[in-house]
Structure 1
Amino acid sequence: MNNLDIANLSHYALLATFFVTVLLGAVMQRTSFCTMGAISDFLVMSDLTRVRQWALAIGVAIIGVFILSSLSLIDTGKTIYTSSRLLYLSIIVGSICFSFGMVLASGCGSKTLIRIGGGNLKSVVVFFVLGLSAYMTLRGFLAVFRANFLDSVFIVLNTNQDLPSIFAAQFGVDRGLMHLFIALAIGGLCVLFALLKKSFWTFDNLLAGLMVGFAICSIWWISGYIAHVAEDPNTLEEVFLATNSGKMESLSFVSPYAYTLDWLMMYSDTSKVLTIGIVAVAGMISGSAIYALASNTFRWETFANTEDTANHLVGAALMGFGGITALGCTIGQGLSGISTLALGSFIAMPGFVLGAYLALRYLQYRLAPNPCN
């Protein structure tokens, strides 16, 4: 394989990513698929509809990744989520910070992109602040705190941290067989939970869950198969093209914000190239905008008052810090990571719920009438 072939593979991967995320952006704009919405609907109104959307997406993603892995189309051991080093403190702190900020900023990273496509100017501000905070946590002064304090607390496992590898080593069974059992058990339960409620069976609910799960699997396949080169002619090493981490990637919407800002600001630097994460950001906004304009739901929206502005600024900063520290957002850890059955992703999920709960309680406190007045 020569350099021209490698360049073509990168282009194919980027085009495929853009196509998938344009579809995903349109679907999420139509169906209001949202992590914050799912948690708040349940905690405030005891409504599980959007939680079931999430469960369906998780189930489809887990089973889909198992199928791709069993067909040797991807290797889930080559992702940032499944390394043997379990950064449990970073994941706990980061997930709580991210979801607390998510509530203050009116949505997670993916929802921010959807809202931008729908004309929300508040989300444009969130985009830039989140991206800046994420970049500082990746490589700036916040990275020093993250690396020296949070990331210094970890456990090194004897295997990769995905559940099939852990249990296969523990019980001395074949990893592929264990992957099948766990994927069907967890993925199947998620799908069953979503579909048991007959009222959930609407076109939009099914579309949301199935499309999000399909998109997660599709990007894994794009980065892990189309963009995979077993031996780079220049380095003679395995490489995953068009990824910022150098590993197989799926959807996540925190670090791609930082890399998008970096690419835009340093565009004339030829070393700054488009990646799957950057293209996914553009695809989500484009898909959302296309649907919003076509359905006549595009509306300009801005901040209501000073407190609204402050909430969004603080929330965006917390999401940037938390998403990088936790190795992913509610899409990154909550769907992409979970689909690999990574232990760290299962640790992150309660953190996301706890942070959102605390933020909702804070907002309720702020809205409560002051008895002294």
Structure 2
Amino acid sequence: METTAQLVVLAGLAIGLVYGAVGLLSGFCLMSSMRGVLAEGDGRLMRTYALAIAVAIAASQLLAGSGLVDVAKSIYLQSTFSVPVLFLGGLLFGYGMVLSNGCGSRALVLLGRGNLRSFVVVIVLAIAAQMTLKGLIAPARIAMVSSSQTTMSANSLPALVSALGLSDAVARTLAALVVAGLLAIFAFAHGGFRRSAGQIAAGVVVGLLVAGGWYVTGYLGADDFNPVPLTSLTFIAPIADALQYAMLSTGLTLNFGIATVAGVFAGSLVTALATGRFHLEGYSSPRHMLRSAGGAALMGIGGVMAFGCSIGQGLTGLSTLSLASLVAVAGILLGTTAGLRGALRVQPLAMA
């Protein structure tokens, strides 16, 4: 019989496989979504993202409300956190995402399709993230957090609502219904999105995958003797861990995050081969490579500072209705906007 840890790893691999396939077929990506709105006037992908958040919130809060998963144990609902570091990390990640033309999860999906530029992004992101987690940059990050962290009695939207005198269950239900409902209304208010069955399906599936990650690690992985850390879809630390595992597997343990990273790549690769989308691509110039690598480094550093990426905070963190996640996501959105419009806009590279 498989152990709990093995079951969690297999489930993480399955979640990654589905995400990789959906990500390739739908183009699911926050940066592409914002580029569509800000530069191209096409808001369908942004609606897909909004629907994914709505589904993730509804499903995750249902799990939490039923007692199956205690999301309060996640990193997103800590009572003490640094608002400046979270926001700055989000800014760095968002701008780096534009420089690299996609986030870490998107890079994994594109790598499965044969995009060799994404290989550089994944490697540099992993190194920068590991340096910020445990390496040369870690002391500076820790010092910044220590000097600016704040303790809050209410660390989530349900906690704020319950301060009005409502019970925890009612506050959780009300907050989830309002936020998820508004996001769903925003998504389906777009006529083009309503007519796009594929994008609707992508939003629903990705949102359910977030809840699935909570269920796998929070319920299936709830072993009294060897509990699995509570987590769901996120890609900065897992990509760093996956690279380290590839180099030092005999001294490390396979976990949910590493399995998810492998699954995303494999799911995209299989889907690309099956649909004839696989083809090798490279950089157009040394300048292109330098900019892409620089963006990946910013994503690795910023993602660690922000406790997550456009998926880790933008979907998984927000599914907990965490106030810290709102701060990080605000930084990511602002950083991405700065890269797409205004004085700091990342200029398109001339093709070689």
Bin the TM-score by the shorter chain. Answer: over 0.9
Distance 1:364 1:355, change over 3 A: closer
The yes-or-no answer on 1:200 pairing with 2:193 is yes
2-side partners of 1:347 and 1:46: how far apart?
Answer: 26
- Report the 3-state secondary structure (helix = DSSP H, G, I; strand = E; otherwise coil) of the residue aligned with 2:231: coil
Q: Match of 1:123?
A: 118
Q: Which residue of 2 aligns with 1:352?
A: 332
Aligned residue in 2 for 1:337: 317
Is the Cα contact below 8 Å between 2:81 and 2:145 reproduced in 1?
A: no
Deviation at 1:166, TM superposition (A): 3.1
Using the aligned pairs only, state the percent identity. 34
CA distance in 1, matches of 2:285, 2:24: 25
> How does 1:137-156 map onto structure 2 within 5 Å?
137-156=132-151
Q: Which residue of 2 aligns with 1:235?
A: none
For 2:67 and 2:348, how far apart are their aligned partners in 1? 53
Match of 2:74, SS state, is: coil
| Structure 2 Cα separation of the partners of residues 222 and 81 of structure 1 | 17
TM-superposed CA distance for 1:366, in Å, is: 3.9
Q: Determine if the alignment matches structure 1 residue 288 to structure 2 residue 271.
A: no
2:205 partner amino acid: M
> Could you tell which deviates more after superposition, 201-210 or 112-121?
201-210
> 1:35-73, CA deviations, whole angstroms, 9 ceiling, x for partnerless residues?
110111111122211110011000000000111112111
2:305 to 325, 328, 337: 325
- Aligned mates of 1:363, 1:26 — CA distance in 2: 34
Alignment of 1:260-275 (within 5 A): 260-269=242-251, 272-275=252-255
Match of 1:277 among 249, 257, 261: 257
Bigger radius of gyration, 1 or 2? 1
Instruction: Name the amino acid aligned to 1:262.
Output: Q
> Does structure 1 conserve the Cα–Cα contact (< 8 Å) formed by 2:339 and 2:346?
no
Structure 1, 147-156 or 28-37: larger mean CA deviation: 147-156
Letter aligned with residue 240 of structure 2: A
Q: 1:128 & 1:257 partners in 2: Cα distance?
A: 8
Residue in structure 2 matched with residue 244 of structure 1 by the alignment = none
What is aligned with 2:25? 30
State whether structure 2 residue 235 is matched by structure 1 residue 240.
Answer: no
**One-letter code aligned to 1:292:** A
Q: Secondary structure at the match of 1:268?
A: helix
2:94 aligns with 99
Q: Which residue of 1 aligns with 2:208?
A: 214
Letter in 1 for 2:253: V
- The residue number in structure 2 matching 1:249 is 231
Asked whether the 8 Å contact 1:164–1:341 carries over to 2, the reply is: yes
Deviation per residue, 1:257-314 (Å, 9 max, x gap): 1111121121122xx1101000000000011011110010101000100211111110
Correspondences of 1:40-51 after superposition (within 5 Å): 40-51=35-46
Distance across 2 between alignment mates of 1:289 and 1:205: 20
Match of 1:47, SS state, is: coil
Provide TM-score, normalisation by structure 1: 0.90
In structure 2, what residue type is equivalent to 1:240?
P
Q: Is the 8 A contact 1:90 1:151 kept in 2?
A: no
Cα displacement (A) at 1:368: 9.7
Give the count of matched residue pairs.
Answer: 348
2:134 is matched by which residue type in structure 1? R
Whether contact under 8 Å (2:99, 2:346) holds in the other structure is no
In structure 2, C-alpha distance between the alignment counterparts of 1:222 and 1:86, rounded to whole Å: 26
1:66 and 1:353 mapped to 2: Cα distance?
A: 24
In the alignment, the residues of structure 2 paired with residue 151 and residue 35 of structure 1 have an alpha-carbon distance, to the nearest angstrom, of 30
